A and B are shown apart, each in its own frame.
Chain A
């Protein structure tokens, strides 16, 4: 089985770098974008298994990215990460829009995120790097 592919979209370069390093080390092919539009291009081009997207992005925001992906690539799992928690309302809305999962920033445990991503791609637990 080929390496699972991931597209991470976040305007915080350092955050995407962390995600890139963490998931690359766990056998993922990670593509990184800093805006919604370029992120969608990457999704079109690479057809990833999973997309990590920040909710608040310059230009096209996470909501729109989620809806566009769900429309064109319903099989792609989208995990939304938000910096702003408003007591569950946003989470409910995102899950209703078809998001696979939702995480709050800062991510308290990257391992939890990894476990969720694993579930999303339906892969077996990975070999420790």
Chain B
């Protein structure tokens, strides 16, 4: 970096020196030239007027100009220097004041857009992009961009990409030209040279001149990709130090916004849990109120059946039906109750076959399943997963209801499958052949309050994904418009004697 920057600095100082010399020469041309011109043009007149003393006037003029010249020179120099540096000072000031305001923005997307906008506009760049780290996908996503032609919005960089390794080892701003010099200098180190070459070609592809990383506690949160200055000028040391300051402020602001986002999500989760808890309370009261009359109806029917059995086959049948239906009604409230009750946080072995069957039975009370062709593909020897049955049932039920609602009135095919994955995980898939989710919507389905249903809360999938993550699992969706949607859960298997550390590790790995 140093060689390149020194060169840039040299170039700029050189330019100022050139201007200085030019001005100096120009001024003294005037100082000497003016009297000479006066002599050349006005010699006959001067001779006629002053005779022997004709040289006095030009000499006075020379003396006057010579003594005024240094003052004029200094004044001009100040003005020209001011003009050269003015543009730069202006945008440096703008960037510094903008970076102070960033910390107040709590919406991460708006923040990214703002930073990129300010940067692009004040420095007058051809294009600017901001890549933000998403820990869940272990990827950097292009979160904001100005002048998209160079950078497609769906551009991502994996966390283990050589580019990221280069940025992380540099710990500083990377300049394309400097990178080139470094590649030339690092012929001996094979892997490093490869990484550098990869980073170089990546930057070239995006026509990027500078990468500005934003670190927080040695963790790369984001990085900016800057194109060239529209003026065609090179980046200067001052630019670089201003970018470094901006990157630091951006890291703070991004962390701040991430914290607020996490807080908001937690709040949404709390609201949903509270709703479930109050529903649980309501349901337990309701179950009591319903079971008592059912007990009376069933009891009296049994009593009557005792006394009249055998007298009239039809009456016997009717009484038996009453008793059975009472049992069924009680069954429904019991299921709802079990589902709605606030779940304890214990982790026990859970049989996903049971969860799937139970969820399917429960779904039948909420949606019409008669036009839905259901297929269960559950492995014969399915290991039990570690978790909370009620919560997992909530997730599966939610997916079944979504699938049925997506397929709508005309129905369709619902495939529920569960299989063992490397003996360490259980994979559960819920597939429908409904209309599918368009690509631009699919990233949003797990966001809180995102819903396409008129009466939806937009919390179902959000809470489901959260539950799965709390179980150390993952939940993903694939969809093709016109063909259908498939949600896939991967849950860790319950080990007979789980070693706490490795299990936590597996969970963390899967969750991120």
Contacts of A106 in B (CB 8 A): 291, 294-299, 326-327, 330
Main secondary structure on chain A at its contact with chain B? loop
Cβ contact within 8 Å between A83 and B291: yes
Closest chain A residue, CB of each to CB of B290:
A83
B302: shortest Cβ distance to chain A, in Å?
A: 5
Q: B288, A107: Cβ atoms under 8 Å?
A: no
Which residues of chain B (275-334) have a CB below 8 Å from chain A?
284, 287-288, 291-292, 294-300, 302-303, 306, 323, 326-327, 330, 334
Instruction: Say how far A58's CB is from chain B's closest CB, in angstroms.
Output: 13
Cα distance A25–B295 in the bound complex, in angstroms:
19
Contact among B284, B287, B295, B306 with A107 in the assembled complex (CB-CB below 8 Å): B295
Q: Which residues of B contact A25 (CB under 8 A)?
A: 306
Query: Could you tell me the distance between the alpha carbons of A84 and B295 in the complex, rounded to whole angstroms?
Result: 12
Min CB distance, B288 to chain A, in Å? 5
| Alpha-carbon gap, A25 to B304, bound state (A) | 12
Give the docked Cα–Cα distance between A21 and B301 (Å): 12
Residues of B within 8 A of A21 (CB): 303
Q: Are B299 and A110 in contact (CB under 8 A)?
A: yes
A22 to B327, CA, bound (A): 19
A84 and B291 in contact, given A22-B306, A106-B330, A108-B327 (Cβ under 8 angstroms): yes
Residues of chain A from 6 to 26 with CB closer than 8 A to chain B in the complex = 12, 14-15, 18-19, 21-22, 25
B302 touches A110 (CB 8 A): yes
B229, CB-defined interface residue at 8 Å: no
Kindly state whether residue A72 has any CB partner on chain B within 8 Å.
Answer: no
Shortest distance between the CB of A34 and any CB in chain B (Å): 13
**Listed residue (A105, A106, A110) with the most chain B CB atoms within 10 angstroms of its CB:** A106
| Cβ-defined contact, A83 with B326, below 8 A | no
With contacts A84-B288, A84-B337, A106-B330 taken as known, whether A12 is within 8 angstroms of B306 at the C-beta atoms is no
B294 proximity list for chain A (CB < 8 A)? 105-106
Task: Let me know if A85 is at the binding interface, CB within 8 A.
Answer: yes
Q: How far is the CA of A84 from the CA of B296 in the complex (A)?
A: 15
**Are the CB atoms of A12 and B296 closer together than 8 Å?**
yes
* Docked CA distance A19–B298 (Å): 12
Q: Smallest distance from the beta carbon of B80 to chain A beta carbons, Å?
A: 85
List A contacts of B295 (CB < 8 A): 12, 15, 81, 83, 105-107
- For the complex, is A56 an interface residue (Cβ under 8 Å from B)? yes
Contacts of B299 in A (CB 8 A): 14-15, 18-19, 22, 106-107, 110
Tell me whether A86 and B341 are in contact (CB under 8 A): yes
A87 at the interface (CB under 8 A from B): yes
Chain A residues positioned under 8 Å from B326 (CB to CB): 106
B113 on interface, CB distance cutoff 8 Å = no
Chain B residue, CB-CB nearest to A103: B295
In whole angstroms, what is the CA distance A109 to B319 when docked? 13
CA distance A129 to B300 in the complex (A): 17
Question: Hey, which chain A residues are within 8 Å of B338, CB to CB?
Answer: 86-87
Q: Which residues of B contact A86 (CB under 8 A)?
A: 284, 337-338, 341
Given the known interface contacts A106-B298, A107-B295, A108-B327, the answer about A84 and B287 at a Cβ–Cβ threshold of 8 Å is yes
List of B residues within 8 angstroms of A105 by Cβ: 291-292, 294-295, 330
Can you name the residue of chain B whose Cβ is closest to the Cβ of A129? B306
Per the bound structure, the CA–CA distance linking A83 and B323 in Å amounts to: 16
Q: What is the CB-to-nearest-CB distance from A12 to chain B, in angstroms, rounded to a whole number? A: 5
Residues in A with CB closer than 8 Å to B306 are: 22, 25, 110, 129
Chain B interface helix/strand/loop/mixed: helix
A104 close to B (CB within 8 Å) = yes
- Among B288, B299, B300, which residue has the most Cβ atoms of chain A within 10 A? B299
Q: Give min CB distance, A128 to chain B, whole Å.
A: 10
Is B287 a contact of A109 with CB atoms below 8 Å?
no
When C-beta atoms are compared, the residue in chain A nearest to B334 turns out to be: A85
Is B296 a contact of A15 with CB atoms below 8 Å? yes
Task: Compute how far the CA of A18 lies from the CA of B294 in the bound complex, rounded to whole angstroms.
Answer: 13
Q: Are A108 and B323 in contact (CB under 8 A)?
A: yes
How far does the alpha carbon of A83 sit from the alpha carbon of B295 in the complex, in Å? Answer: 8
**How distant is B277 from chain A, measured CB to nearest CB, in Å?**
14
User: Across the interface, which residues of A come within 8 angstroms of B334, CB to CB?
Assistant: 85
Inter-chain contacts of A85 with B (CB < 8 A) = 287, 334, 337
| Complex: A43 Cα to B284 Cα, angstroms | 30
Bound-state CA distance A56–B292 (Å) is 11
How many Å lie between the Cα of A19 and that of B295 in the bound state? 11
CB pair A109–B292 under 8 Å, yes or no, is no
CA distance A107 to B303 in the complex (A): 12
Give residues of chain A (70-100) contacting chain B, Cβ–Cβ below 8 Å.
81, 83-87
Chain A residue at minimum C-beta to C-beta distance from B389: A87
Expressed in whole angstroms, the minimum distance between the Cβ of A117 and any Cβ of chain B is: 14
Give the docked Cα–Cα distance between A109 and B302 (Å): 8
Q: How many angstroms from the CA of A109 to the CA of B324 in the assembled complex?
A: 10
What's the minimum C-beta distance from A122 to chain B, rounded to whole angstroms?
23
Interface string of B80-101 (1 = CB under 8 A from A): 0000000000000000000000
Q: Which residues of A contact B327 (CB under 8 A)?
A: 106, 108
Complex: A111 Cα to B298 Cα, angstroms: 12
Residues of B within 8 A of A14 (CB): 296, 299-300
Minimal beta-carbon separation of A92 from chain B (angstroms): 14
Quick check: A83 and B303 within 8 Å, CB to CB?
A: no
Contacts of A84 in B (CB 8 A): 284, 287-288, 291, 337
Could you jot down 5 A-B contacts, CB within 8 Å?
A: A21-B303, A83-B292, A84-B287, A106-B298, A107-B295
Task: Knowing that A15-B292, A83-B288 touch, tell me 6 more A-B residue pairs with CB under 8 angstroms.
Answer: A83-B291, A86-B284, A86-B341, A105-B295, A108-B327, A110-B306
Query: 9 nearest interchain CB pairs?
Result: A83-B291, A18-B299, A105-B295, A106-B298, A106-B295, A106-B294, A14-B296, A105-B291, A83-B288
